[in-house]
Structure 1
Amino acid sequence: MGKLSLSVGWITLFLMGTDLFVVSPLLPYISKAYSVSPTTTGWMVTTFAVTYALSAPLFGWLSDKKGRRTFITLGLLLFSISNVLTAIAPTFLWLIVSRILAGLSVAAITPLIYAIIGDIAPTNRRGTWLSIVVSGHLTALWAGAPLGTILEHFLGWRSVFVVMAIIGAILSIVNFKVWKYNPKKDFSRNLFDGNLLRILGSVSVTTIWSISMYALYVYLGASLYSENRFSSSEIALAVTFYGMGAVLGSLTSGQLTDKIGERQISIASLFFLILILICIGIFFSHGAWVYCLLFLWALVGYGGFTSYQARLAVEYPQQRGIVMAWNNTALYIGITIGSMFGGYVISNWGYNILPYVCSITAFVSFVLSTQKVQKARKESSFSVGT
C-alpha cells in the first residue's frame, strides 16, 4: 500500500508541476494564436499563481475538517475541466478564466497530497516519503515541460492541455480509490488552536527561501546568454543540471531527514545555500564551472525545501493540511516577489550582483528558521505531549 500511495502521489504531483512549468515555453505560440503581446500572455501565469496562493489555505483548512480524499478528487476533476477549457478557449479572456480555474484546482490538490502523505507515512520514514512525492513535482521542471514542448511541435499547443486533461480525469479515479485513509481529529476545538500567527511565522521561512531561489532562477537563461554567451543548447543543458540537482536534493534530503532530524537538515541546507549562492556570484562566468554550481545550488536549495516540509508536518500534526497549504501559498508569494525583486536588482546593478543579494535573502531565511520555527516546535511538542 505504501508503494502504491507514493506512486500515485508522485504521478499526481508530476502532472501538477507539468501544468505549472509547461505554460512558459508555450507562451510565444499562445501569444500568436490570440494576437496579443507576450507581456499580456504572461497573465496566464500570474492569474494561476494568484488564484493558487489565495485559495490553497482554504482547501487546507477544509481538508483538516472534512478529510483530504474528497478535495483531491474534486480538484482533479476541476483540473481536467479547466485544461479542456484552456484547449478550446475561443478568446483570450476565456483563456484567462480557464487558468484561474486551473489555479483553483491545483490548490486543492498539491498541498493536500503533501498533507496526506504526512498523515499516512511511518513516523521514521516521513521525510523520505515526502521527498519522493516532492521529487515528482520537481521532475516536471526538467522532464514534464520539455515533453509538453515536443508535443506542441507535432500537434500544436492546445494538444498539451488536452493530454493533461485526460490524465487528470484518470488520476481523479485513481486518487479516489487510493486515499481511503482519513485522519480522525477532535473537531470540537478550533483547528488553529491559537496557532495562526505562529503558522504564518513558520511559513515565512519558505517565502524568503523562495525569493532567494527564484529571484535568480527566473533570469537564469537571460544571464547565461548575456554574461556567458551561452547558446540555446548550452542554456538547456544548464537547466537540466539544475533540474537533476533539484530532484536528487529532494530525495537525498528525505533520507537524511529521517536519520538526522528535520530541524537539523533544514537549517544546514539553508546555511550551505548561502555559501553556494556566494560561489555562484564569484564563479558564474568561469566556463563549465557554472554547470556544477547550478547542480549544487538546486541540490541544496530543494533539499532544504523538502526537509522543511517534513519539519512542518511534525511541528503541526493537528493542522497539517492548512500548514502545508499556507506553506505552498508562501512558496508562490516568494516566487512572485522574487521575480519582481530579481528584475529590480538586474535593472539597477546588473546580473553579477544578483547571486550576492540572493545569498543575503537566504541568510534572512536561515535566521528565521533557527528562531521562530524552533520555538514553534517546542510549543507543539509540549501541547501534543499533554
Structure 2
Amino acid sequence: MRIKSAFPLLLINMFLANLSMGLVIPILPELLEQFRAGGQAAGYLVSCFGLTQFLFSPIAGNLADRYGRKPLIIAGLILFSASHLLAALSWDLSLLLVSRLIGGMGSAALIPAIIAYAADITTDDQRGKAMSWSGAAMTSGFIIGPGVGGLLAEWGLKAPFHASAIVGVLAMLCSLWLLPESLKPEVRKLRLRTQQSKTNLFRQIALSVRSRYFILLLIVFTMTFGLTHFEAIFPLYVVQAYGFGTGEIAVLLTLCSLIGTFNQIVLTDRISRRFGEKKVIGAMLALSAVSLACLLVSGNYFYVMFVTMLFFTFNNILRPTMNTLLSKAAGEDQGFVAGMNNAYTSLGTIFGPLLAGILFDIDLGLPYLFGASVLLAGSIVLVRRIDGRSSPSASEAESETAFGTTG
C-alpha cells in the first residue's frame, strides 16, 4: 500500500480510538444499577479514560517522533482491544474502571501518531482538508460511540464491548499488514541522536505553556470540557428529567452525530476560508454554549434532538479548525504537538465528566449551565488572545506571527 493511499485506514483507526470513549455512555444507567453505584460513578467511568490518556499522550507523541508512527498505532490498537475485552469480562465496577484506564493508554498511543502521520503525508495546502477529515473521524467516533453502544446493548449489556474488541483486533491486523511507515528512516535516526528527551510529562506541559500554540491548546481543553460535560450525564439527565428510554437515547445520539459529522465535512473548509480560523473558533464556542443551555428549555424529543444536532455540529467544526492551526505551528515537532493536543483533550475528558457528575447530584441542570459558562468564557477570553491575523496561511513564519513568540 502506498503511503497516501493509507489515509482511509488512518481515519478508521482514528474513529475506533475515539469510539471507545463514548461507547459506555448510553448503558451507564444500567451498568450503575447492576454494580449498585451512584451518579458520580458515571463521571469516574468517563474521566478515568482521560486520566491515562493525559499521562501517556506526551510520551507517545515523543516516541512517534523518535521511532515512527506505525509502532504506536499498532500498540494503541492492541491496548484498545484489550480494554474492551476486559470490560466485557468485568463483574464489578473496579474492573470496569481498570478497563477504561487501559483504553485511555491505547488512545494516547493512537491519536498523536495518526495526526502526525497525516501531517507527514500532506503538504501545507492539503493539510487543512486532511485535518478536517481526521477531525471528522475523531469527533464522530466520540459522538457516535454512545449511539453504537446503545444499539448494540439490545443484544446484551456487554455486547458493545465484545464487538469493539473484535473490531479493534481486525483494525490492528489490517494496520500491521497494510500500513507503511510515514517517517523516513534517516529522520528517525537523526532524532534518536539529537533530540532531547521530552518524555517527562510536566516538562512537556511547561514547554507547551511557553509555546506559540498554547492558546489553541487551552481552547482544545475548553471544547473537550464542554463536550464531555454534555455526554457524561446526558443519558442520566434525559432519563430522570424527561423520561427517555435507552433506545430513544441511542437513536437520538446516532442521528445527531451523523448529521453533525456531515455538516462538519461540508462546512468546515468553506467557512474557515471565508471567515478565518479565529472567527470560526470564537463563533463555534459561543454557539456551543448557547445550544448546551438550550437543552434545559424543553423535554420534547424532537426539540432535544435538534438542539443536540446543533451542539455536535458546532463541536465538530471546532476540532479540525484547531488541528489545522496546531499542525501548521508545529513545524518539525508534529508528534510532540499532536501529543500535547491529545493531552489537553485528555484534561478536558478528566475534569469535564468528573465535575459534571458532582454537579448532577446537586441539581440535574447544573452541569449544562456550568458547561455553557465555560464554553462562553473560552469564546470571550481565549480567542481575544489570538493575534488579529486569523491563521497561518502558507509558511511557518506566518504561523509564528499569528501565535506570538515561542518559548
TM norm structure 2 = 0.76
In the TM superposition, what are the counterparts of 1:25-44 in structure 2 within 5 Å?
A: 25-31=26-32, 34=35, 36-37=37-38, 39-40=40-41, 43-44=44-45
Residues 23-47 of structure 1: CA deviation (Å, up to 9, x unaligned):
1223344445555556447543332
Structure 1 position 54, deviation (Å)? 1.0
Q: What is the CA–CA distance in structure 2 between the aligned matches of 1:208 and 1:314, rounded to whole Å?
A: 21
CA gap of 1:317–1:276, structure 2 versus 1, over 3 A, is same
CA gap of 1:249–1:53, structure 2 versus 1, over 3 A, is farther
Counterpart for residue 405 of structure 2: none
Structure 1 position 21, deviation (Å)? 0.9
Amino acid corresponding to residue 170 of structure 1 in structure 2: L
Counterpart for residue 366 of structure 1: 383
- SS of residue in 1 equivalent to 2:183: coil
In the TM superposition, what are the counterparts of 1:102-141 in structure 2 within 5 Å?
A: 102-141=103-142
- SS of residue in 1 equivalent to 2:25: helix
Residues 94-113 of structure 1: CA deviation (Å, up to 9, x unaligned):
44333322221121012211
CA contact (8 A) 1:281 1:356 kept: yes
Counterpart for residue 271 of structure 1: 283
1:22 counterpart = 2:23: yes
Structure 1 position 330, deviation (Å)? 0.9
Amino acid corresponding to residue 116 of structure 1 in structure 2: Y
Q: 2:327 aligns with which of 313, 319, 322?
A: 313
In the TM superposition, what are the counterparts of 1:291-370 in structure 2 within 5 Å?
A: 291-340=305-354, 347=362, 351=366, 353-354=369-370, 357=373, 358-370=375-387
User: Structure 1 stretches (4+) deviating beyond 6 angstroms?
Assistant: 191-194, 343-346, 371-377
Counterpart for residue 162 of structure 1: 162
CA gap of 1:370–1:341, structure 2 versus 1, over 3 A, is farther
CA gap of 1:105–1:230, structure 2 versus 1, over 3 A, is same
CA contact (8 A) 2:68 2:181 kept: no
Counterpart for residue 55 of structure 1: 56
Residues 200-248 of structure 1: CA deviation (Å, up to 9, x unaligned):
4541221123334444554555666777x47447665654454235313
CA gap of 1:59–1:78, structure 2 versus 1, over 3 A, is same
Q: What is the CA–CA distance in structure 1 between the aligned matches of 2:183 and 2:330, rounded to whole Å?
A: 17
- SS of residue in 2 equivalent to 1:269: helix
Q: 1:204 aligns with which of 195, 218, 227?
A: 218
Structure 2: segments with no counterpart, 5+ residues:
199-203, 402-407
Residues 106-163 of structure 1: CA deviation (Å, up to 9, x unaligned):
2101221122112212332212222223222333345443333333322441x43233
CA contact (8 A) 1:17 1:138 kept: yes
CA gap of 1:111–1:235, structure 2 versus 1, over 3 A, is same
CA gap of 1:224–1:3, structure 2 versus 1, over 3 A, is farther
CA gap of 1:101–1:371, structure 2 versus 1, over 3 A, is farther
Amino acid corresponding to residue 308 of structure 1 in structure 2: M
Counterpart for residue 71 of structure 1: 72
TM norm structure 1 = 0.80
Amino acid corresponding to residue 269 of structure 1 in structure 2: I
Structure 1 position 8, deviation (Å)? 0.9
Counterpart for residue 285 of structure 1: 297
Structure 1 position 13, deviation (Å)? 2.0
Structure 1 position 271, deviation (Å)? 2.4
Counterpart for residue 147 of structure 2: 146
CA contact (8 A) 1:253 1:306 kept: no
Between 1 and 2, higher relative CO (CA 8 Å, sep ≥ 6) is seen in: 2
Q: What is the CA–CA distance in structure 2 between the aligned matches of 1:32 and 1:280, rounded to whole Å?
A: 27
